[in-house]
Structure formats: structure tokens, C-alpha cells
Amino acid sequence: MPRGPNPFAWRPRPPYISAMTDSAPKLNDFLPGGPMAAPAAGSRTELVGLTRAELVREMERLGEKRFRADQIFNWIYFRGVTDFAAMTDISKALRARLAETCSIGRPHVVTAQVSQDGTRKWLLRLADGNEVETVFIPEEERGTLCVSSQVGCTLTCSFCHTGTQAWVRNLTAGEIAGQVMMARDALGEWPTPSDDRQITNVVFMGMGEPLFNYDHVKAAVDLIKDEKGLNFSRRRVTLSTSGIVPEIRRAGAEMRVMLAISLHAVRDALRDELVPVNRRWPLAALLAACRDYPSLSNARRITFEYVMLKGVNDSDADARELLRLLEGIPSKINLIPFNPWPGSRYETSAPERVQRFGEIIRSAGIMATVRTPRGQDIAAACGQLKSESVRIPGWKRRGETKEDHARA
Ligand code: SF4
């Protein structure tokens, strides 16, 4: 498969795509020329990130029959081709036209690191120069790809390294699905039957709060779950949220994937500090949303992530309060020994403390697993992701000087 330097070159998207995006800043808000800058003459439409319906409209725009969209969808998302010339069931004339007017991109891989334990971390550069990280964690029974949904994060969870990086922008559906496609490139997984893949699960636990980028995450999840595309079962896709209560129910109804909650504290005063979004949606509201999560059952339990911080949230009383809070919610608890990062103010709980905490949970019949730290030597472990991207102020994007901006 052609790879080359493979820049995920930004291309203008058809107007119907702009219409579906949310009020959050859009990709081209951050390009030279400012928001909704006019597409450059001769530029091409990026097909990665288009849903089936959007691809049908794109084919119609090119004067082609609708079924062409299915063929192209299969080549892009099932076979993983990046060159129109490889689409052998499409006429040569159409292939040439597609090559002139469209592109099939990937994020540009800046660095690819492999940890001693086999964990892989990629630093990816997007078309506008911003960077995000994607991590692959191989285990005996499964392989989990951890994708990012934003550049930076609007939230400032005090134990999380990403939280020290200011939010820059939301990722597009293509940039999110593109992380899965890049990983399949790197692991040589095109096209592979689902029972023979290294990447078996996709989790939205990388950089960013996915429910603050709802529309693009939903579009990406649709591509990831599509049986004729990337083809992950919805039980193998997990959305992890810090607790954006109004979007939790909506995600359950519309995306129907597994849910994980970054809980980390059992009392509002402490959770306000660890996960500041708790001030907006406190524990009672969050747990009510969890109880209402559509199709919640023993087979589809909610995972509660709980980072173990020495002397902060790891007492026996905390464990017992956790059990009380989760009563009636089919749950499993993921205890995460804190992964230190430069400048962090917390220490990780002693292994015996983590073990004791887990025993209290398990003695009540609730599954509690202790997450083995992975990829620590390449800073790929949970809560350690961070890129160097910084938000470019509006005046700079518009090509103004700071002084012009101050005068305006
Ligand atoms: S834990 Fe998640 S939501 Fe909180 S700062 Fe880190 S990336 Fe953002």
C-alpha cells in the first residue's frame, strides 16, 4: 500500500458537512484566512471522515450512480487503500477523476514509539500543524487502541497531564477515524477478518473530552462501527467521559457504545478538585444519568475509572462510599495506579492499599480490576498524553499583528 510521507492534507469539505457540525470551532476556523476561509481553487475533497450518506452525495455531485459510494466506502474503510488507482472495480475514467478531485488522507506520523511492554504511541500531526497522540495497548486477549478526540482539553483534571495543555480545537470525524486507520496501516491489518486482528477495541480515552465534541465523535463512531467499514462491534467501542451529564443519555441512545466514567472521587468537594467539571454536574446528577443510561444491563455494565492517589481518595471509607454510590448501577471498577508526570502534585497509592481497596469492592460482588500501568517508559500511560500544540490566537490566524488587534 502506498504510504510515503502521507500528510493528512486538509481539503475543503462539501457544504453539507459544514451544516452538520456543531457550534464548536471548526477545522478551518484555525487555518490561515480565518473561519470558513474559501477553498483554494483546484483543492480536493477529503473522503476520510465522510459517512456513507455524505459519500453518496459526493458521488451524485460528480454525476455518478449512488452504488459507487458503496464501492468506494469499502475500498477506503474495509481495504484501507489510499490510492484511487487500486480501486479495480471502478472504471479507469472515474478513478482518474477521483484522483483529480478527491483525496484519501491519514494523519502524518511524526514519531512512532514502542514501549518495552509492547505498547505503541504515535505522535500525529494534523493538516493545520496541531498534534495529537494515539496509543495501542496489546494484551493477551485483546488489543486496545486509545484515540484522541480533541487537541488539548477544555477541562483541567488535576491528576491528568493532558489537562495542563489548553484546549486548541476539536478533531473532525476524519481525524478521529483516521487514527484507527493509521494504526491499521502501522500494524498491517488491512483487510483483516475481525477475529484475526490485533486492534480489537477502540476507546475514547486519549486527549480530550469526547462529549464536548459530540457530532464529530458520533460521526467517527458510526464509521468505526460500520460493518462494511472499520467494523468494530459496539461492545468493543468505549466512550469515556468526565461526566458531561446532558450528553450521556444522548450518546447512549444514538451511539449505543460502552460507557466509562472518569469518577476518581466519591465526595463532591474532592471531585470538584480532581475533575472540575463536577462543579457543573455533581455526583448526584452524574450517577442519575448513569442509572438512566440506555440498555444498561449486567452484560453492558458501566466502567468507573478510579485513579488511586495516595492519601487523597484511597481509604477504606472511600471504597465503602463508592459501593454506596454505585448501588443499583451495573458497574465494574477500574482502579488505576496514578501515573506521575513532571510537575504533578500527587503520588500513587501503595500496591497494598490498591489491593485492599479492590478487595472491599469485590467483597460486595462488584468487579474491580487493577489496571497494570502500560507504556510508562514512553509516557503513553493513562493520563500522561500531551502534545506541544498551543492555541493560535484569532488575530494571528487573521494575519494581524497584536497591536492591530489591540487597536480594533
Ligand atoms: S482526564 Fe480527560 S477530561 Fe480530564 S483533563 Fe484529562 S483528557 Fe481532559
Tell me how far apart the alpha carbons of residues 137 and 269 are, in angstroms, rounded to a whole number.
Answer: 34
The interaxial angle of helices 173-187 and 214-225, nearest 10 deg, is: 40
Q: Which of 133, 148, 149, 153 maximizes ligand 1 atoms within 8 Å of its Cβ, making it the mutation to test the pocket?
A: 153
Tell me how far apart the alpha carbons of residues 104 and 95 are, in angstroms, rounded to a whole number.
Answer: 12
Ligand 1 interacting residues, C-beta cut-off 6 A: 153, 155-157, 160, 162-163, 207-209, 242, 262
pLDDT band at 161 (very low <50, low <70, confident <90, very high): confident
pLDDT at 186: 95
CA of 153 to the centre of ligand 1 (A): 6
CA distances from 22 to 185, 270, 291, 330 (A): 30, 32, 27, 32
Of 301, 261, 248, residue with least CA distance to 157? 261
Tell me how far apart the alpha carbons of residues 395 and 406 are, in angstroms, rounded to a whole number.
Answer: 9
pLDDT band at 247 (very low <50, low <70, confident <90, very high): very high
Supply the CATH classification number for the domain 108-378.
3.20.20.70
Residue with CA closest to ligand 1 atom 4: 157
Q: What is the average per-residue pLDDT within 119-147?
A: 94
pLDDT band at 297 (very low <50, low <70, confident <90, very high): confident
Could you read off the pLDDT of 210-223 as tens digits, one per residue?
999 999 999 999 99
Index of the ligand 1 atom closest to the CA of residue 240: 2
Specify whether the CB–CB gap between 46 and 10 falls below 8 A: yes
Would you kindly state where each structural domain of the chain is located, as residue ranges? 45-104, 108-378
Q: What is the DSSP letter of 145?
A: E
pLDDT band at 21 (very low <50, low <70, confident <90, very high): very low
pLDDT at 19: 29
Specify whether the CB–CB gap between 131 and 171 falls below 8 A: no
Of residues 46, 54, 58, 133, which has the active-site annotation?
133
Q: Which of 132, 156, 157 maximizes ligand 1 atoms within 8 Å of its Cβ, making it the mutation to test the pocket?
A: 157
Share of the chain above pLDDT 90, in %: 67
Is 50 exceeded by the pLDDT of residue 44?
A: yes
Q: Which residue has the higher pLDDT, 382 or 357?
A: 357
Is 70 exceeded by the pLDDT of residue 401?
A: no
CB neighbour list of residue 189: distance below 8 Å, 6 or more residues apart: 80, 183, 197, 198, 199
Annotation says 382 is catalytic:
yes
- Average pLDDT of the chain is 84
Q: Which of 160, 204, 241, 344 maximizes ligand 1 atoms within 8 Å of its Cβ, making it the mutation to test the pocket?
A: 160
Annotation says 133 is catalytic:
yes
In DSSP notation, 78-99 reads: IS----GGG-TTS-HHHHHHHH
Could you read off the pLDDT of 56-76 as tens digits, one per residue?
999 998 899 999 999 999 999
Supply the CATH classification number for the domain 45-104.
1.10.150.530
pLDDT at 402: 60
The three-state (H, E, C) secondary structure of 188-243, written as one string = CCCCCCHHHCCCCEEEECCCCCHHHHHHHHHHHHHHHHCCCCCCCCHHHEEEEECC
Query: What element of type H or E holds 324?
Result: helix 316-325
Indicate the SS3 state at residue 291.
Answer: helix
**C-alpha 235: how far from its chain's center?**
16
Q: What is the average per-residue pLDDT within 232-239?
A: 94
Index of the ligand 1 atom closest to the CA of residue 205: 2
161 grid coordinates: 497531564
